[in-house]
A and B are shown apart, each in its own frame.
Chain A
Amino acid sequence: MLDRESRRDRTLPTFITLVVLAFLMMTFDVRLSGGELSRGIRSGALGVIAPLQNLAATVIDPVADLGDTLAGLATLRAENLALRQEVARLQAELAGSQDLMARLQVLEELNDLEIIDAETAQVAANVIGRPDPFGASFIIDKGSDEGVALGHPVADPFGYVVGKVVEVSPSNATVVPITQDREAVTVLVDGQVGTLASRFGSDFLDLEVFDAVEPLQAGDLVVTSSVSLTFPQGLPVGEVIDDAGLEGTSISASVRLFADPDSLRVVVVITWPPEPGEVAVGTSTTAPPASDTTPTSAGG
């Protein structure tokens, strides 16, 4: 039943040749680390594969959503009630915030402050595919035609940091979550600057604060720092999961990410840093926190 051709068996030489070729490809790719040629080939491949995924997602998603809805009918009523209560709570919170905003405006006028925030455009995108059964990188249905560019930060619909764009074609882009990124993120926790790096085989991230002045506590909020080169400042990233004490002048802690990259269906791409000229003069008047000025080399 099997293929038993009587030709000379060239299986082993072919195998060795292909293995050597694969090793050469890996070596060149690692050495060039995202060179123009490699980026061009990948962008072209994304241009071929992404439309197919888009088509498949268009067919599969509605059917699968219908199945999910039917399976979850029993819990919908309870969920609806909980959401109504959540809306009421948020409306009360919003009313309180509006009062605070009005007071802030009055204070700004009294002090003659001019705080101009850099307007960052946001592009909402659907997650259309996850080609790797091991990794959490995913493909979205927006690309350079919609203003998405290499390195743009990506957040979930609640504004929590997810990752960044690593590959772009005209109509699609690939996003790598920070849980998988080789590059650390510079963050701010409890007024101290640190770096947040992925941890092999874990959903948690490793936080390192090198010039620490006080210990961290479980639940401390981790946000992106103003010295970060890859994320705008102030985006919530996650929270410290255990108390961490000082070890000399440094602290190591584990951080749980707020966003869940594995289950995302929709993301928001943040056009940041803005194109030169888009930032209004006076942006720098937004002063960073006092301790948030130490540049770090490890993070981006």
Chain B
Amino acid sequence: MRSRRSVVLALIMALLGLVVQATLFRRFNWLTPDLVVLVVCTSALTLHPTSALLVGFLAGAMVDLAIASSVLGLRALVYTVVAYLAVRTRTRAESGFLAAGVWIAFLTAASVVLLLVVGITFGQSGELGSQIVPRLVQVPLSNFLIGSLLAIPLTRLLQPGRGVTA
């Protein structure tokens, strides 16, 4: 029951992340985080592995629906893989906020590369946008900055008493 509530809470956080990234961060060309990936990574730190995978899949599907030009399932696939990688490597993020930030940055970079590869495979190269090359660096760096600051509060919000220690 608690697990189900945590999944719903993580999905609400992913939705809020999507809204904030679409409104606030669209104003900055230099700070372009993928907040949904951040939520997916944080879920992997606190939730049961299968729940974290479910959060990755559903959050990805939500983003696919929000981006009308994207093929449905593209980000669902990418974020599921990210959630799986996060579940398998989550011990790397345990030592503190900086480690969590670096860990999130690496997972974000993996998500961007995977998005690029699968997107091109499914004929989505146009939809990935003209800024894809700079974004390969900007998005992981932005997620490192924001992840370092928010990873601990987010894990505590998802499941008090679990996740990364300060």
Contact = CB atoms under 8 A, between A and B. Distances in A.
Interface residues of B, number: 69
B68 A46 contact: yes
Interface stretch (A21-29, A104-112, A115-123): A21-29
Interface string B45-65: 111111001101100111101
A135 B22 contact: no
A18 B69 CA distance: 22
Given A53-B19, A60-B24, A132 B162 contact: no
B67 A22 contact: no
A14 B23 contact: no
Given A1-B94, A21-B57, A202 B32 contact: no
A229 interface: no
B162 A1 contact: yes
B1 interface: no
Contacts of B132: 134, 200-201
A292 interface: no
B107 interface: no
Given A15-B84, A26-B122, A180-B130, A52 B68 contact: no
| Most central of A23, A132, A180 by chain B CB within 10 Å | A132
8 contacts: A1-B162, A22-B76, A23-B77, A25-B61, A25-B72, A38-B72, A131-B67, A201-B128
B122 A133 contact: no
Given A131-B63, A133-B32, A134-B135, 6 more contacts: A2-B162, A21-B57, A41-B72, A46-B65, A49-B65, A131-B66
Question: How would you classify the secondary structure of chain B's contact residues: helix, strand, loop or mixed?
Answer: helix
Contact of A42 (B19, B65, B120): B65
Interface of A: 1-3, 5, 7, 9-11, 14-15, 18-19, 21-30, 38, 41-42, 45-46, 49, 52-53, 56-57, 60-61, 64, 128-139, 166-167, 174, 176, 179-182, 198-203, 262
B25 interface: yes
Contact of A2 (B61, B67, B90, B126): B90
B163 A1 contact: yes
B66 to A, nearest CB: 4
A134 B18 CA distance: 13
B99 interface: no
B34 A19 contact: no
Contacts of B128: 134-135, 200-201
